[in-house]
Structure 1
Amino acid sequence: MQRIAFANTLRGVASLSVLLLHYVLMINYMQGSYAGLSSLPGAFYHPWLVNSVNFFSMINLGAFGVSLFFLISGFVIPFSVSSFASKNSGRTRFFINRVFRIWPTYAVGFAVSLAALEIASYVSGTATSYTLGHLLAHVSLFRDWTGYLAIDGVVWTLEVEAKFYLFMLVFWGAIANQKLWPIAVLCIAMVFASRYGVGVSNPDTLFLNILFPIKYLFFMCIGIVFNYHYRGTLTTEKLFAISIFMIGVFSYVCAKEKWADIVLIAYISSFVLFTIMYLFARDWTGGRVFSFLADISFPLYACHAAMGYVGIRLMVGWGLPSALALLIATALALVLSWCIHIVIENPSHRLGKRIASSLDADGTKAITKERSV
């Protein structure tokens, strides 16, 4: 899959947004209370730190970062579909590539979260109650279809990503040929699903859980429209008309489902930023900081939340200044994410590519017969 500078760099922006929300605003809001750990009295962070991070209070930083990730995936994944569609066993190759791109890294990140939760459980004297089935369902990224509750707080977005891959596989030929009608089908499905008031959190029935990701898939399809324009299928006029119509329908559905204003504004803001960067700064690399954050964005997203909540709470409880605890937790998250990126993410991605490229026309692994000397 080709790498486009601005889209890759926006991953760094997205990961930083989510990190700041969790490590500053959420912990401050919870006063350190998490996973059985009690809240701490008094102000958790100094107000200037909270106000600096929450500089524009009408935008939810977490929703902003997540929606950027969604747009980026919608933009880049069709390149992969088109590439594999021209090869034998294209769907199988795509599936293998995506499995090795996402699941190993998330599994390690999830293991980090579980370790943090076990530490919190030990310190607080509470007990965790995860079954093997719960853990396997969680790491499968189809937990939402099994009835189990989320454990780490970030899995729901990756579950949406997994459903987006299913969407690609179902409408494989149409996406490969840059057709718009699958997006229209999804639009109709989204409006239909809004009648059931699915909202912004996972519901408790299988039917509603199947409907839950549809609006996010439709939002990701805005990225597909930009992909079609990038490859010359759509004119700029059509890009504007279609994308503005899509964000309008999406906003209508979200308002109907009673989304909080700061969440909906965050999604609209990410769309505006993505559009501006696409039109005027496609070659933006963001410098070393954002390039680094872009490289580790997925491992960071997968592992940071629980370890940060628990780590910062424990350090502050031990008497460290909260700002120092924040710096230490952030540094640990960045270093660990870089290690996962180097040791797990890159090798597993390369392995997936090798396995996918070794498939023959029947979708089975090609075996080269060696002649004896």
Structure 2
Amino acid sequence: PRGELNVPSVLIGMVPGLGPLINHPVPADGIVWTLTIEMVFYTICLLAYRWLTTTWQCIAVIAFLCFTIQTLMPLPPINSPLRGLAYVILLACPFIPVMLVGVVLSAHHRNLMSLRTTQLLVPALALTALYLMTTGRITLTTAKYNLMFTATIAAFVAISIWGSAWRGNRGVDFFAELSYPLYVVHVVLGYTILSALTSLGVWPLASIVIAFSAVLATAYLLHVAVEMPTHRRGQRWARKIGHLASLPAKGATPT
């Protein structure tokens, strides 16, 4: 409707958050908007890594900031250069608290956060996220969605607590390792292949098998060539930051 179905708009739309930030119309997409939220979350993690993984106050402050920003930040006029930035921030605000649930559970799993603190933070973050989703100006959710979201959080918490007792399975482990690349590529690549094959008259079941195989192969390639190397580098950085944080300041006397 805004003339966004052209090559430049599609390419811009493939970069999370770029379309809104430069106020360029892009096609609607079921994946990129969620990646935009993740980019905001990863930026927060990068800036506050030392405190996020060790202090509950940092997590509480970030959740409170999400609440405050969504409540007080106005959405600028559509022709304002700040509208795109405000849109991205307001889009992310309802979802940041629930993503922090994973941070809390990870910290508890690594004995960096007490059980009592975890028990208090997880429901508080979940309630904050649900409130922000039901009152947001960018995303408004239905009661059915909120119920599903609550059940998903509960399942996630339960798996994080008792999942370590489950016996491993190669098949499940394989798809677990590919879960994020699959999530990223399955919509655009999978639907494109399905659309192309069905338009050529290929049998639907065969189209599904071909599309799934292509998506799986692409996800595996991303996992091996991108995800694993960047994870290793990130872990090295995290260990380095943790090591530097544990050293006394220059000129200070160790205790």
What is the TM-score normalised by the length of structure 1? Answer: 0.51
Output the aligned Cα RMSD. Answer: 3.6
Matches of 2:153 and 2:50 in 1, distance apart?
27
Q: Do the aligned residues in 1 keep the contact of 2:55 with 2:113 (CA within 8 Å)?
A: no
Q: Residue 368 of structure 1 aligns with which residue? A: none
Matches of 1:310 and 1:162 in 2, distance apart?
25
Residue 319 in structure 1 maps to residue 201 in structure 2: yes
Alpha-carbon spacing, 1:328–1:209, altered in 2? closer, same or farther (3 Å): same
Q: Residue 268 of structure 1 aligns with which residue? A: 150
Q: Do the aligned residues in 1 keep the contact of 2:56 with 2:117 (CA within 8 Å)?
A: no
Higher RCO, 1 vs 2 (CA within 8 Å, ≥6 residues apart): 1
Q: Which amino acid aligns with 1:308?
A: G
Residue 346 in structure 1 maps to residue 222 in structure 2: no
Structure 1: unaligned runs, 5 residues or longer: 1-126, 362-373
Q: 1:226 offset after TM fit, Å? A: 1.4
Cα deviations across residues 84-127 of structure 1 (Å, max 9, x unaligned)?
xxxxxxxxxxxxxxxxxxxxxxxxxxxxxxxxxxxxxxxxxxx7
- Paired residues for 1:27-176 under 5 Å: 128-130=6-8, 135=11, 138-139=14-15, 141-143=16-18, 144-150=20-26, 153-176=30-53
Q: Do the aligned residues in 2 keep the contact of 1:174 with 1:182 (CA within 8 Å)?
A: yes
Q: 1:130 offset after TM fit, Å? A: 0.6
Alpha-carbon spacing, 1:175–1:339, altered in 2? closer, same or farther (3 Å): closer
Q: Secondary structure at the match of 1:209?
A: helix
- Range that drifts further, 215-224 or 262-271: 262-271
Matches of 1:197 and 1:188 in 2, distance apart?
14
Q: Secondary structure at the match of 1:281?
A: helix
Residue 302 in structure 1 maps to residue 184 in structure 2: yes
Q: Residue 216 of structure 1 aligns with which residue? A: 95
Q: Secondary structure at the match of 1:282?
A: helix
Residue 181 in structure 1 maps to residue 181 in structure 2: no
Identity %: 22
Q: Residue 249 of structure 2 aligns with which residue? A: none
Cα deviations across residues 218-256 of structure 1 (Å, max 9, x unaligned)?
111111221232233444343223211221222122222
What is the TM-score normalised by the length of structure 2? Answer: 0.71
Q: Do the aligned residues in 1 keep the contact of 2:181 with 2:220 (CA within 8 Å)?
A: yes
Structure 2: unaligned runs, 5 residues or longer: 75-81, 245-255
Q: Do the aligned residues in 2 keep the contact of 1:308 with 1:329 (CA within 8 Å)?
A: yes
Alpha-carbon spacing, 1:343–1:246, altered in 2? closer, same or farther (3 Å): closer
Q: Do the aligned residues in 2 keep the contact of 1:183 with 1:221 (CA within 8 Å)?
A: yes
Q: Which amino acid aligns with 2:41?
A: F
Q: Do the aligned residues in 2 keep the contact of 1:311 with 1:329 (CA within 8 Å)?
A: yes
Matches of 1:179 and 1:250 in 2, distance apart?
20
